[in-house]
Amino acid sequence: MTEQSSVIFRRFELKDLDQVMEINKQTLPENYPERFFRTIFSELPSAFLICEINGDVVGYTMARLEKGLSHYSIFHRAKKGHTVSVAVKPEYRRRGLATKLLKGSINAMIEHGATELFLEVRVSNSAAVNLYKSLGYEILKEIRHYYRNYESAYLMVQKITKNSKKG
Ligand SMILES: CC(C)(COP(=O)(O)OP(=O)(O)OC[C@H]1O[C@@H](n2cnc3c(N)ncnc32)[C@H](O)[C@@H]1OP(=O)(O)O)[C@@H](O)C(=O)NCCC(=O)NCCS
């Protein structure tokens, strides 16, 4: 990335699908079939964002809204914003791209009525845990053997308040 690079953050479009699936395959053990990406996109397009540098997709995040029991009170139901996946190509990391993608996606979930946010992350993925903490998420609990290789996940959550929108 040079000073002349063109860096664009925008909504995902179906023409980006192959590049997004390739980044997902290269960077994460959790890979999904094409129809999964399409479904997530059709349900909440404004929270499915990509970063494009000089015409190539270099990062993405996607999220959905889920109605269910609140993570803060089992007596209440909530509209929960769930970050399903985020990844940035290795050569473009530590430049704030994931932060910017997630801020945009979080704002979209809030605009669509999310009252709390959550996600799962491998306990060994300290880069991602730090990233989420920097955006206001806290570890609620560990979910043992959550992943296919039996690794545990942290369930990370954040409650939406009037100051939650990300600048
Ligand atoms: C996690 C990931 C998305 C971060 O992307 P990124 O664009 O490099 O993140 P940012 O530059 O926005 O980082 C923001 C903050 O997150 C934390 N962070 C990011 N990478 C980190 C690392 N390798 N080690 C420690 N903290 C890290 C830091 O607090 C960082 O702020 P700083 O650079 O000012 O110290 C990227 O490493 C990635 O794609 N990993 C593989 C896929 C993955 O694990 N996704 C998450 C699945 S739950």
Please report, in tens digits, the pLDDT of each residue of the chain (167 residues total): 776 789 999 999 999 999 999 999 999 998 999 999 999 999 999 999 999 999 999 999 999 999 999 999 989 999 999 999 999 999 999 999 999 999 999 999 999 999 999 999 999 999 999 999 999 999 999 999 999 899 999 999 999 988 888 88
Domain ranges, ordered by start, for the chain: 7-159
3-class state of residue 95 by DSSP: coil
**Cα–Cα distance for residue pair 72/15, rounded to 1 Å:** 39
List of residues 6+ apart from 91 with CB closer than 8 A: none
> Ligand 1 center to residue 26 CA distance, Å?
16
Q: What is the pLDDT of residue 140?
A: 98
> Ligand 1 center to residue 93 CA distance, Å?
7
Q: Ligand 1 pocket: which of 93, 101, 105 to mutate (most atoms <8 Å of CB)?
A: 93
The CATH classification of domain 7-159, taken from the options 1.20.1250.20, 3.30.1330.10, 3.40.630.30, 3.40.190.10: 3.40.630.30
Q: How far is CA 154 from CA 41, 66, 111, 165, in A?
A: 25, 18, 26, 23
Of all protein residues, the one whose alpha carbon is nearest to atom 27 of ligand 1 is 127
Length of the chain: 167
**Quick check: 109 and 44 in contact, CB under 8 A?**
yes
3-class state of residue 88 by DSSP: strand
**Cα–Cα distance for residue pair 128/61, rounded to 1 Å:** 13
Q: What is the pLDDT of residue 130?
A: 98
Q: What is the pLDDT of residue 17?
A: 98
Listing DSSP states for 5-46 in one string gives --EEEEE--GGGHHHHHHHHHHH-S----HHHHHHHHHH-GG
